[in-house]
Amino acid sequence: MLKRRVTRNSVYRILSKDLFKLVLTEHEERVISKARELGYFDVPRRVKLDDLANEFRVTKMGVSLVLRKALRKLVGVI
């Protein structure tokens, strides 16, 4: 039997996936996941808000609102 070492990071990763499903809408989850994947949260950013808006074919303001609402929800449960 293969044993996996349980680390704090692996627990956080599992919990964060469940948290996303419980707190965020599907659209918010897609936008925030894509933003992370493309490097929007990196320092320095690898993509701009314009790039993310183009990815979802919405306005810059539209994607900004979705990100802010999603982040507010996530921060509210921490």
Its pTM surpasses 0.85? no
The pLDDT of residue 43 is above 90? yes
Give the chain's largest Cα–Cα span: 51
pLDDT bucket at 7, cuts 50 / 70 / 90:
low
- Residue 71, CA atoms < 13 Å, CB-side half-sphere: 10
pLDDT of residue 16: 64
Alpha helices in 1-78 (DSSP H): 8-23, 26-38, 49-56, 60-76
Q: Hey, what domains does the chain have and what are their CATH numbers?
A: 24-76 (1.10.10)
Mean pLDDT is lowest, of 1-10, 47-56, 66-75, for 1-10
pLDDT bucket at 13, cuts 50 / 70 / 90:
low
pLDDT bucket at 9, cuts 50 / 70 / 90:
low
In single-letter form, the type of residue at position 12 comes to Y
